[in-house]
Amino acid sequence: MLLLRSIFWTILVPGTVTVYIPYLIVTRWRPTVLESWGVLQFLALIPMGVGAAILLHCIWMFAWVGRGTLAPVDAPRHLVVQGLYRYVRNPMYVGVLLILLGETLLFESVLLLEYAVGWLVVFHLWVVVYEEPTLRRQFRESYERYCRTVGRWVPGKPFNPAGERGAGVNP
């Protein structure tokens, strides 16, 4: 059941943000999407591929370790501090932004760049206003310790949950 919920929320949320809406943006102003491939289009595949790999890894970690999904209504029950979460607190958002930046290069679209920057602002506000306060209330000192070690957006030294139970940190 958790697998089905994860698939559903993946298609609905990042699928809409990284596939459906960019498709609408690109095809509305340029019906012929890609007429030819140049160096820029091939280079665009790098951030798109890395972003997709990051996103899928994070979704897996939320399900496997956190026992939840990426949706706030079905959030992980355990604090995930392993995998990419050892290095940066919000790798899932970083992955989505990499996909969007790759699409910006792929389609050479200023509108997609503006869209990506808009999502960067939304993600930052969401994290600061909702996610971090919620996680502080839910996981208390475990989350505080994690925040002191791991940066919000920029990867750094890995978090070492020495003494914590299992792969996730429980309240």
**What residue ranges of the chain have pLDDT lower than 70?**
29-33, 162-171
Where along the chain do its domains lie?
Answer: 2-69+78-160
Give the model's pLDDT for residue 75.
Answer: 86
Give the model's pLDDT for residue 166.
Answer: 42
Give the model's pLDDT for residue 127.
Answer: 97
2-69+78-160: in CATH 3.50.50.60 = no
Structural tokens at position 134? 């919620």
Which residue, 80, 76, 74, 38, is CA-closest to 166? Answer: 80
pLDDT tens by residue, 115-165: 999 999 999 999 999 999 999 999 999 999 999 999 999 998 888 876 444
Backbone angles phi, psi at 37, to 5 degrees: -110, 125
Give the model's pLDDT for residue 120.
Answer: 97
Give the model's pLDDT for residue 32.
Answer: 58
Residues 6+ apart with CB under 8 A from 47: 98, 99, 101, 102, 105
DSSP E strands, the chain:
79-80, 168-169
What predicted TM-score, i.e. pTM, was given to this entire model? Answer: 0.88
Beta bridge partners of 88: 151
Residues 6+ apart with CB under 8 A from 70: 6, 9, 10, 13, 14, 58, 59, 62, 92
Residue 18 near residue 97, CB atoms below 8 Å = no
